[in-house]
Chains A and B, each alone.
Chain A
Amino acid sequence: MSAYASQYPSIEFDAAYKKFFEEFYATSDTPSAHEKYIEHFTKDATLIMASKTAKGSDGMLSSASAVRAF
């Protein structure tokens, strides 16, 4: 069992999705895996991390500025 395995309720859930989450958080914790991390999102994905939002093309510019401010 992977160190990144999660508990699930006893309902059907795509095994590929379970594997995805394990890989995603393992990648997230790997300092050098920047490119690999990005590959876990679709090109048009909406990401909201705490107070930072990026939605579609409009949100990207403002969020990029917020990132630079940090």
Chain B
Amino acid sequence: MVCLAAPALSELSSLRHSEILALRKGMWEKVASRKHQAVKIFPFGPQSDECMLYGTVKYGLKAGGESGLDWAARAHLMKDDGRVKMDFYQVYLVSMSSSTRMPLTLSRTLAHKVNRLLGSGELLIRRNVRALLHIQREFSQNIFALQMGEVLV
């Protein structure tokens, strides 16, 4: 629990860092691996401290399978005692997870597929099971993309 009793500025700073720490640790609970690629970086003119970025990220899921997103970001850089740091960083999600509508539509499509499979008695049981497992995997990746939309680091 966070202490609310008028913390000093330095304590707020450390709180902020612990907050980022919590966010990062949360990310790795579901993810076995991540690979970011800042494909193109667009500085705002020559010798600028500000950039827009276009990138991709691929996740290997602990539950199995992979997922990926496209992202964009705005970053402002500065030098703090000679060390480069960001004092502003905003991530924009530009794939399906940026909208709740798309994953919901996909979920509905998946539900429709399941209903159709359950209704088709002439299909071999083994084929049904394989198809259902495939749908289950799609579904879990879909839910994962929804969650990633909330916390992309």
Say which size band chain A's interface belongs to.
35 or more
In the complex, per-residue mask of A24-54: 1 if CB is within 8 Å of any chain B CB, else 0: 1100110100110111111111111111101
Residues of A bordering B, CB below 8 Å: 4, 6-9, 11-14, 16-21, 24-25, 28-29, 31, 34-35, 37-52, 54, 57, 60-61, 63-65, 67-68, 70
Contact at A64–B15, with CB atoms within 8 Å? yes
Residues of B bordering A, CB below 8 Å: 2, 4, 9, 12-13, 15-26, 28, 33-43, 45-49, 51, 53, 55, 75, 77-80, 84-93, 98, 147, 149-153
Contact at A49–B48, with CB atoms within 8 Å? no
Contact at A63–B19, with CB atoms within 8 Å? yes
User: In the complex, what residues of A have CB within 8 A of residue B80's CB?
Assistant: 42
User: In the complex, what residues of A have CB within 8 A of residue B37's CB?
Assistant: 4, 25
